[in-house]
Amino acid sequence: MKRFAKQRSHLFMYMLALLVAALFLPASAMTHKPILVERSINGYEQAYEIPDPLTSYAIYGELKTPRQVDLYKVTVTEESPFYARISVPKKQAYQSWGPAFLIFGPGLPTTNEPPSYPLDLPANMGRATLLWNGEADESYEPFTQTSYIDHQLYSRSLAPGTYYIAVYDPSGGTGRYVLATGSQSRFGMLDWLRFPATWYQIRMWYDPTQTTLLLVGAFALLAGAIYFFSRQLKGRK
């Protein structure tokens, strides 16, 4: 019985998240496919593989320790344009913080040394080093109703091969970031079915307090509406 009640509670939260998200989501909201990496991605052998270099993804990550490096891997099968940008939440605590990101791969320069990089540089690969120099464009993600400060941007054609993207802070700072890659929006039915759970996860990543209050408010509004209409129906009998 307890297990059934727990499952019913999870189903209710899922449906409530769907209701709340649907109220705020415009028809054109799907811009980046969200990815939340829920495992360690330290070391090149543990790098999280980005499924496609062209599809637009938003990877939600967090540097939790001063020397942490989050590593991502992308495979390019034919020469094509590649886009990557790092952003941080639009919050007071992030106004003066910006992680660096590196791109390792074939055909990139080999003379630039990334500052204070905690790991060994991968052998036989060049690199592009993108440090934050104060870029501070602002963007709004309607998919999750969250705002960001957009920092350094990388955009150029890449030759076929395997590439690694490393996110770290040379000064040893910590914080949350979004790594956006690709430029083509592609969404299927499965993405829409996962939407409530994804919305909830990203909202809790961005601002757990605000998200909890939003869900509680939506629950109170829904409960109030059910109570009101049930009283109306009883009054007609």
Q: What is the mean pLDDT for each group of 10 consecutive residues in the chain (237 residues)?
A: 49 50 46 81 90 93 94 95 96 94 94 93 94 90 88 95 97 96 79 77 85 68 66 66
Evaluate whether 31 touches 56 at the Cβ level (below 8 Å).
yes
Position 187 scores a pLDDT of 64
Evaluate whether 61 touches 177 at the Cβ level (below 8 Å).
yes
Position 156 scores a pLDDT of 93
Evaluate whether 56 touches 184 at the Cβ level (below 8 Å).
yes
Is 29-187+201-206 a CATH 3.40.50.2000 domain?
no
Angle (CA) 33-34-39 rounded to 5° is 135
Position 219 scores a pLDDT of 64
Position 28 scores a pLDDT of 42
Report pTM.
0.79
Q: What is the CA radius of gyration of the chain?
A: 21
Q: Strands, E, within 67-226: which ranges?
A: 70-76, 80-89, 100-105, 126-130, 137-141, 146-158, 161-168, 175-181
